[in-house]
Chains A and B, each alone.
Chain A
Amino acid sequence: MSAAALPLWEYSVPAGTHWSGLLRRGVALRLTDLNGGANCAVIFFNPEQKLERYNMPDTLKAQHTGLITRGHCLYSDMGRIFCSVVADTVGWHDPLCGVSDAGLARRKYGESHYQQQRNDMIRNGRDSLLVELGKYGLGKRDLGPTINFFSKVTADAQGRLSFHPRHSKAGDSVDLRFEMNTLVALSTAPHPLDPDPQYRPGAVRLTALRAAPAAADDYCRNLCPENQRGFANTERYTALA
């Protein structure tokens, strides 16, 4: 293995828990579903100006997509790209459904308290992300849509949604190449539309890797003219970084 391919660091996020951290331009983060059927709800902020955050509508309409997979860029509300999806063995990640909350989790799984269950207690996506956001002075007003990596939700002609259980297999992974410094917060709680009445979250391994800047012929940059302009905006922002 070449030095460039050695991970900068690795961390396995246990099933149903949460994590946050800074990913810098020039680093790629690989998310790996360790046991199959995981869900990993992720949001992004600019750590230098936290009013700049992941924007679901701008991401979807720029790329004319209702799913996330290889080639897609994840946009901020300022016309810039936090990260681009440079590899994906899954093929479909859900950007539409957000996260569960305490009320939904209680109705689906019943009461759960740390007093009895210790760290096996049921955590929900909203509270988990609020914990991570709170560490940076962010709160409920700042919590918008997530990308639910490893989960697939499709819409029929009337817009009715269907969740596809255990869409992702053990060992499936997706690589996010960061195009600007990005604060990442994530939860591995189950997807809110997962019909499984048992609380069975999945663990996700994070692997940080060195990543070369996007070349002129980069697949994500050239997926559509919109992404070429998104890269131009981002490279203006990072020009002196």
Chain B
Amino acid sequence: MALTTSKLDPASAAIDETCLAGEPWIRTIRCGQVFRILDLEGNQAVDTLFYSAHDVEEHYSATDTIMRQAALYLTTGSVLYSSEGRPMLTIVADTCGRHDTLGGACAAESNSVRYALDKLHMHCCRDNFVLGLIECGRQDAQAAKLGLGKRDLVPNINFFMNVPVTPEGELNFVDGISAAGKYVEMRAEMDVVCVISNCPQLNNPCNAYNPTPVRLLVWNPQ
């Protein structure tokens, strides 16, 4: 895996914020801006969706991203495609090396299937996404205009997660390849709304059962 670093200086970022585990983060990112997600403590799943900032019907599409590049994993050079087949963002730096397109978000109901029926009450990415979208005007007025909701929760990217599919077709969540300080950086190719759930999952060893904060930075076009 080829790793690519960035020369951008956090001191010059227009946005530099921390999102705690189990909380949502929603911001509009303009065409040409560069967006970095930094794994502060290592192997944190950052469940991420993108929508056109101007058209609620155009969303990040896992299948378009996979099919149009005939590739399952994301790294430097990968394009994140929309449901209209248009590039939304391009990954321009990546010190982790691989990010997941297939694992989706944890939900109360899927936790009941995956772990035990009595896990239904536990906090999860889907609950985080749903409330984050209902309340998104608190974070970003532009995003609130889209009127996003549960209907729009399509399969998301899991930055820093490693979910390989073998040639025989087996899929597994395996130990992460991320670590404290690793980051992924992408350039917006259109105006997008970024919706993150910083994953609160406590049932899966992929994050060592320990959800942790992430740092989110946005730079204006250089």
Contacts and interface: CB of A to CB of B under 8 A. Distances in A.
B67 A141 contact: no
A101 B107 contact: no
Given A98-B61, A145-B155, A161-B71, A156 B167 contact: yes
Main secondary structure of the interface of B (DSSP, over half): loop
A223 interface: no
B170 A79 contact: no
A121 interface: no
Contacts of B113: 58, 62, 75, 79, 226, 229-230, 233
Contact of B107 (A58, A67, A141): A58
A230 B112 CA distance: 8
A101 B114 CA distance: 33
Nearest to A160: B71
A57 B72 contact: no
B12 interface: no
Interface string A126-146: 000000000000011111111
A211 interface: no
Contacts of A139: 57
Interface of B: 56-59, 61-64, 66-67, 70-73, 83-85, 98, 102-105, 107-110, 112-114, 116-117, 126, 150-155, 163-167, 169-173
B169 A101 contact: no
Interface in A118-168: 139-146, 154-162
A214 interface: no
Nearest to B204: A61
How large, as a class, is the contact surface on chain A?
35 or more
B103 A57 contact: yes
A160 B152 contact: no
21 contacts: A61-B173, A66-B171, A75-B110, A79-B107, A79-B109, A80-B109, A96-B102, A97-B67, A99-B63, A103-B85, A141-B151, A155-B165, A155-B166, A155-B167, A158-B73, A159-B72, A159-B73, A159-B98, A160-B72, A192-B67, A193-B67
Contacts of A158: 71, 73
A58 B104 contact: yes
Contacts of B70: 160-162, 193
Interface string A163-199: 0000000000000000000000000000011000000
B109 A141 contact: no
A139 B98 CA distance: 32
Nearest to A236: B117
Contacts of A103: 85
A230 B108 CA distance: 13
Contacts of A144: 63, 154-155
A80 B154 CA distance: 17
A62 B164 CA distance: 14
Nearest to B156: A57
Given A97-B63, A226-B114, A77 B170 contact: no
Contacts of A233: 109, 112-113, 117
A158 B168 CA distance: 14
Interface in A189-241: 192-193, 226, 229-230, 232-233
A99 B166 CA distance: 22
B171 A64 contact: yes
A77 B164 CA distance: 22
Contacts of B152: 141
A8 to B, nearest CB: 30
A22 interface: no
